[in-house]
Amino acid sequence: MSTDRIALKGLRARGRHGVLPAERELGQEFVVDATLFLDTAPAAASDDLTSTVHYGELAEALVKVVEGEPVQLVETLAQRLADVCLAYERVLSVEVSVHKPAAPIPLPFDDVIVTIERSRP
């Protein structure tokens, strides 16, 4: 696996994901971190954006998933986000973290984070 990485950290979007009806109705902010593992040498050699992953387009695609069809589990949302990242043919593997800082937990806490790693088959 390549050691080159492109990381997008702290991407914020409002979604309606969760098990509780109030989460689906009111929605809340989710924060996404995605680290793509790929070979950036072709892009470096050519200085050509088409030889890498356009992180602006990636950010827009990830936000569409968060703002899109609600799911119950953050794990499901993380998988959908990983699938978007792996749709870029240059991406060999990805690590995605989904933060749910406003999770309905009746105790003081900083954040709930689900992190997954996925690779091409």
93: helix, coil or strand? strand
Question: Rounded to an integer, what distance in angstroms lies between the CA atom of residue 98 and that of residue 37?
Answer: 18
Supply the angle between the helices 74-86 and 55-67 in degrees, to the nearest 10: 150
Question: Rounded to an integer, what distance in angstroms lies between the CA atom of residue 56 and that of residue 60?
Answer: 6
Paired residues of 94 in beta bridges: 36, 118
Q: Where are the beta strands (DSSP E) in 1-121?
A: 5-15, 28-37, 93-99, 113-119
Q: Give me the active site residues, please.
A: 100
